[in-house]
Amino acid sequence: MEAEVEELKQNVGERFGANDPVTTLINRLGASTRSEVVFGTTVERGAVTLIPVARISYGMGFGFGAKSNGGGGGGGLIGEPVGLIEVSDSGSRFLPISTPASRIAVVGALALAALVAYWFSSRGKGS
């Protein structure tokens, strides 16, 4: 994610300039794309270290009018905790965070897969 933000910063900087509002927005967005923003920093307790893992998604759009006819833009950033990496003397492991939304998504995906499988299997029976 950080490499993508750096590439975006470079491309925008080349096109608009260092003090342009678009460049400023990209720089601020880049500072926000860390798991610490979602839910804290690494925690060490004795021989165990917990490292937060997050999914961070962002999007933006801009439009410009001809000459002084205006323009605009906007963007959004969504951060979601995914889990923790537990590191101890015995090794490391990923501890996923299960949320109601993720369980609903899994059930929905399974239901959709069953519906598609039924639809494909019933297509050939009517002829």
Domain extent listing, the chain = 2-96, 98-127
Q: What is the pLDDT of residues 2-26, one digit of tens each?
A: 666 566 556 555 555 556 666 676 6
pLDDT, residue 64, reads: 76
User: 93 Cβ partners below 8 Å, 6+ apart?
Assistant: 85, 86
Range in 44-48, 54-58, 88-92 the model is least confident about: 54-58
Contact 41, 59 (CB under 8 A): no
Q: Distance between CA 13 and CA 19 in Å, rounded?
A: 9
Sheet holding 48-64, edge to edge: 43-45, 48-64, 71-88, 91-96
Contact 75, 62 (CB under 8 A): no
Contact 58, 8 (CB under 8 A): no
Whole-model pTM: value is 0.46
Contact 69, 40 (CB under 8 A): no
